[in-house]
Amino acid sequence: VRITTERFHEQARAALADPELRAALDRAADGFVRRRSDAMAALPTLEALRSQAAAVKAHVLDHLDHYLERFAEALEAVGGHVHFAADAAEARQLVLDLARRYDVSTVVKAKSMISEEIGLNQALADAGVRAVEGDLGEFILQLAGDVPSHLIGPAIHWTRPRVARLFAEHLGSDPEADAQALTEVARTALREVFLSADMGVSGVNFAVAESGSLVLVENEGNIRITTGAPRVHVALMGLEKVLPRLADVPTFLALLARSATGQAASAYVSLLTGPRRPGEVDGPEHLHVVVVDAGRSAVLADPALRDALRCIRCGACLNHCPVYQRVGGHAYGWVYGGPIGAILDPGLLGLPRTRELPQASSLCGACSEVCPVKIPIDDLLVEHRRRAVERGLTGRGERWAMGAFAFLGERPGAWAAAANTARAATRLRRDGDWLTGALAGRLPGLGAWLRERDFPAPAARSFRQRWRDGLRHEPSARRDAVGFAGTGGAGIDGYGTGGAGSGGAGIGGAGTGGDTDGEGQA
Amino acid sequence: VRVAIFATCLGDQLFPDAVVASVRLLRWLGVAVTFPEAQTCCGQPAFNAGHHAEARSLARHHLRVFAGSDPVVAPSGSCAAMVRCHYPPLLEREAEHLDAARALAARTHDLASFVTDVLGVSDVGADLAGERVTYHDGCHALRLLGVSEAPRRLLRGAGATLCEAPGHDVCCGFGGLFAVKHPEVSAAIAAAKHPGIDASGAATLTSQDAGCLMQLAGSLRRTGRRIRTVHLAELLWDGIARANGQPREGGSRAP
């Protein structure tokens, strides 16, 4: 799998310059945000559900070894098999071994981020196994040799006209086809694959420890066929996907569908418990679940980062992130982008190569606000930044500047002197009340700002100077006093008199001023 | 009632008119205002960038400066949120400072909430009748402090016509150092707010946060938009002056 997390800056700039990406993101985001908001507004128990979901996930993570063992036992008891993979390479090898064992020539795949994470398609192709994506978005990406840019809408960066051109080129369809016709084209092309596949590979939304059940949600129906029609079903899951009881599932289904697409329920929810049993007419003969670690246990062992593993991959944080909405998922350089990627990727790939990602946030907190399992995403972004500093991964210039900033910050006289000098120097370059783009590149520190937008010229005098120069003792206008003093005339000095009882109207301090409307004013 | 004004470093250096207006507004409402002159910066830039040793130094300094028991009022949601939300965990392992940090967190307020919630005033006696105003929610005011109604109540109380912009609660892209670490992304986020601001039909854009205003005003101006951009405190103080027959003060920055 290609990992380019180091190049966030240039990838983000390239994304900003791509009008087609812009159109695609705008179109998708509006719908996601509005539909989620409507769905959540109609859910009076939302906050209780979020708290419950967060608590269940936190509990599972605290006892993950226990629940994974229970899950494995339960699944084996109904005829399934569980394999544990320490890393991506082991996970790939396990799937390849299964393909060989069952003499598989065609694999049909459901959308699975973890299969993207471990680079399964390439591994299967290298082994001579035909693997076809059965999810429409993934099908588009596979035809184009592209990679997903969103957790639930992998081809969200593709516009319809571009898909029409792609299908025309590869499948001979009408280059002007509309969305419905394009879906029909994909459906026809996939039908043969679904019917001929020997193995279906899927992800897992939730794995239930008490029953060994796998829960998968979708809207297209392809997962149903992928997991039911072929002889063999292989499900890949991150080790954090387990839930204790079946009774926990509805809470998560309610939150996942609403958070992801604003639906009250996904079109299809599959609850798969073991392979086909005697007397059943469909379902796979063999069911294997590959539980993948690939860095997750290290995150689990890190109390400050563990909360990131609560994620149920709904994508709401991406849809509400102002940065993701501008640059899209590819800028982040790996499978998991957006806010969740920025906190998860450093845990899974290590901070040195992902250190740019936690910086790519204004810390607006919209992600944490919408997270259905209450991951404190913005706090974790800061935690990664803190670690980057601690490990010396930030630039020397920034460290020096912060040191100077703190040094001066504890020395008010020097602070004010330095600020006055900087202000005066900057004011020399002003054009009226503003510093403009003409100065970009010529003002150290402000150059980056001025390339993109204007900057207000610093005031001639700081607040501190104005306080000393008169504001401190300025006779103040009081609404409870008689007459308005404006800003410099005669009036009652609220400061000098302690602010109580000095007014003509006899109001003793502002607390009793209440909501009354300017009584006693001339 | 006596409060200490926490000017904030942006307010002190770049938006002194907003801090002056805050002082006058508080005095107008009968509040005595002190300005502890040793104040510098709350340390938020260092904290957000992950330089927590430096942030702790500045936090300890801020605690010393604002010792005592007076409420502390900042014309900023973001800086108030730094003290209210981040100081206690930041100083968690410093037993000698933790109690003070918690106490300071509890008595630190953003200006609008202090006026509405502590003073209990919705109508400050300003005349903004006929002014079409749109309010931008600073993210930290909105999401860390839960402030969205207080500034709007003050604007409505002054008779302003509140013109909500689609996306008023979406980040402006400032983000402190983010604005210079990722200038292109930051500016693109600001530009994405322009259509909403245009659509609001407002003649004035206001907020409680100087950082957001700096970002939005700079971005609006760069694209040739001429909406007036002014801090909430200045807008209210102007309205008080107008209500009392005074011409509008200068200092409001129209891009």
Per residue in A47-105, pLDDT (tens digit) is 999 999 999 999 999 999 999 999 999 999 999 999 999 999 999 999 999 999 999 99
Check whether A507 has a pLDDT greater than 60: no
The answer to whether the Cβ–Cβ distance between A455 and B52 falls below 8 Å is: no
- For A22-55, write each residue's pLDDT tens digit: 999 998 888 999 999 999 999 999 999 999 999 9
With tokens 């392992």, the residue in question is B93
Check whether A516 has a pLDDT greater than 70: no
Put simply, whether A323 touches B (Cβ < 8 Å) is: yes
Look at the alpha carbons of A171, A173, A178, A180 in this order and tell me if their dihedral is positive or negative.
negative
Of all residues in chain B, the one with the smallest CA distance to A459 is B14
Q: What is the dihedral of CA A429, B44, B230, A478, to 10 degrees?
A: -120
Distances (CA, A) of B124 to A483, B25, B115, B128, B151: 16, 8, 8, 11, 11
Structure tokens, A400: 């020096």
Tell me the C-alpha distance between A422 and A368, whole Å. 37
Length of chain B: 255
Structure tokens, B101: 């940090």
The C-alpha of B35 sits at a distance from chain A's nearest C-alpha, in angstroms, of 8
**What would the mean pLDDT of B11-38 be, rounded to a whole number?**
97
DSSP state of B231: E
Check whether A501 has a pLDDT greater than 60: no
Please say whether the beta carbons of B59 and B94 come within 8 A: no
Put simply, whether B38 touches A (Cβ < 8 Å) is: yes
Write down the pLDDT at residue A511.
Answer: 31
Burial of A242 (0-12, 13-18, 19+ CB in 10 A): buried
B247 vs A86: which has the higher pLDDT: A86
Question: Under 8 Å CB-to-CB from A3, ≥6 apart: which residues?
Answer: A333, A334, A349, A353
**What would the mean pLDDT of A216-238 be, rounded to a whole number?**
97
The answer to whether the Cβ–Cβ distance between B58 and A454 falls below 8 Å is: no
**What would the mean pLDDT of A498-521 be, rounded to a whole number?**
31
Tell me the C-alpha distance between B112 and B68, whole Å. 22
Question: What 3 state SS string does B83-132 have?
Answer: HHHHHHHHCCCCHHHHHHHHHHHHCEEEHHHHHHHHCCCCCCCCCCCCCE
The C-alpha of B155 sits at a distance from chain A's nearest C-alpha, in angstroms, of 14
Tell me the C-alpha distance between B1 and B70, whole Å. 8
With tokens 């029409």, the residue in question is A164
Give the residue among A395, A392, A362 at the shortest CA–CA distance from A377: A362
The C-alpha of B213 sits at a distance from chain A's nearest C-alpha, in angstroms, of 10
Structure tokens, A342: 């920025």
- For B203-237, write each residue's pLDDT tens digit: 999 999 999 999 999 999 999 999 999 999 999 99
DSSP state of B140: I
Put simply, whether A402 touches B (Cβ < 8 Å) is: yes
Of all residues in chain A, the one with the smallest CA distance to B141 is A364
CB-CB: which of B16, B58, B125 is closest to A409?
B58
A-contacting residues in B 68-87 (Cβ below 8 Å): none
Write down the pLDDT at residue B247.
Answer: 62
Tell me the C-alpha distance between A124 and B104, whole Å. 60
Tell me the C-alpha distance between A8 and A215, whole Å. 34
Distances (CA, A) of A16 to A20, A144, A159, A327, A452: 10, 21, 16, 6, 13
Of all residues in chain A, the one with the smallest CA distance to B78 is A364
Torsions phi, psi for A347 (to 5 deg): -70, -40
Structure tokens, A410: 């504890």
Write down the pLDDT at residue A500.
Answer: 33
In the chain, the amino acid numbered A449 is W
Chosen from A420, A467, A521 to mutate, greatest number of chain B CBs within 10 A: A467
The C-alpha of A139 sits at a distance from chain B's nearest C-alpha, in angstroms, of 30
Write down the pLDDT at residue A443.
Answer: 77
- For A455-472, write each residue's pLDDT tens digit: 999 999 999 999 999 999
In the chain, the amino acid numbered A400 is W
Look at the alpha carbons of A194, A200, A205, A211 in this order and tell me if their dihedral is positive or negative.
positive
Check whether B8 has a pLDDT greater than 90: yes
Check whether B159 has a pLDDT greater than 70: yes
Taking contacts as CB-CB distances below 8 angstroms, the residues of chain A near B175 are 361-364
The answer to whether the Cβ–Cβ distance between B185 and A455 falls below 8 Å is: no
- For A263-316, write each residue's pLDDT tens digit: 999 999 999 999 999 999 889 999 999 999 999 999 999 999 999 999 999 999
CA angle B74, B160, A365 (to 5 degrees): 45
Burial of A68 (0-12, 13-18, 19+ CB in 10 A): buried
Write down the pLDDT at residue A477.
Answer: 81
Question: What 3 state SS string does A278-335 have?
Answer: CCCCCCCCEEEEEEECCCHHHHHCCCCCHHHHHCCCCCHHHHCCHHHHHHCCHHHCCC
Put simply, whether B140 touches A (Cβ < 8 Å) is: yes
Please say whether the beta carbons of B151 and B208 come within 8 A: yes
Chosen from B168, B182, B207 to mutate, greatest number of chain A CBs within 10 A: B182
Tell me the C-alpha distance between A8 and A354, whole Å. 9
Look at the alpha carbons of B188, B19, B83, B122 in this order and tell me if their dihedral is positive or negative.
negative
**DSSP strand pairing (A206-208 vs A232-238):** unpaired
* 3 state SS of A201: strand
Check whether A347 has a pLDDT greater than 90: yes
Tell me the C-alpha distance between A369 and A378, whole Å. 10
- For A398-421, write each residue's pLDDT tens digit: 999 999 999 999 999 999 999 999
With tokens 């409307």, the residue in question is A517
Please say whether the beta carbons of A353 and A388 come within 8 A: no
CB-CB: which of A16, A449, A463 is closest to B19?
A463
CB-CB: which of A361, A459, A522 is closest to B16?
A459
DSSP state of A18: -
Percent helix, strand and coil across chain A, each to the nearest 5? 50, 10, 40
Check whether A493 has a pLDDT greater than 60: no
Please say whether the beta carbons of A357 and A344 come within 8 A: no
Put simply, whether B231 touches A (Cβ < 8 Å) is: no
The answer to whether the Cβ–Cβ distance between A479 and B27 falls below 8 Å is: no
Of all residues in chain B, the one with the smallest CA distance to A496 is B32
Write down the pLDDT at residue B255.
Answer: 43
pLDDT band at A484 (very low <50, low <70, confident <90, very high): low
Angle separating helix axes A396-409 and A412-427, nearest 10 degrees: 120
Tell me the C-alpha distance between A233 and A244, whole Å. 23
A513 vs A384: which has the higher pLDDT: A384
Please say whether the beta carbons of A262 and A38 come within 8 A: yes
Check whether B185 has a pLDDT greater than 90: yes
Write down the pLDDT at residue B251.
Answer: 43
Tell me the C-alpha distance between B215 and B37, whole Å. 27
A427 vs A515: which has the higher pLDDT: A427
The answer to whether the Cβ–Cβ distance between A494 and B27 falls below 8 Å is: yes
Tell me the C-alpha distance between B16 and B80, whole Å. 17
With tokens 């989620």, the residue in question is A36
Check whether A492 has a pLDDT greater than 80: no
DSSP state of A394: S
A291: β partners: A84, A237
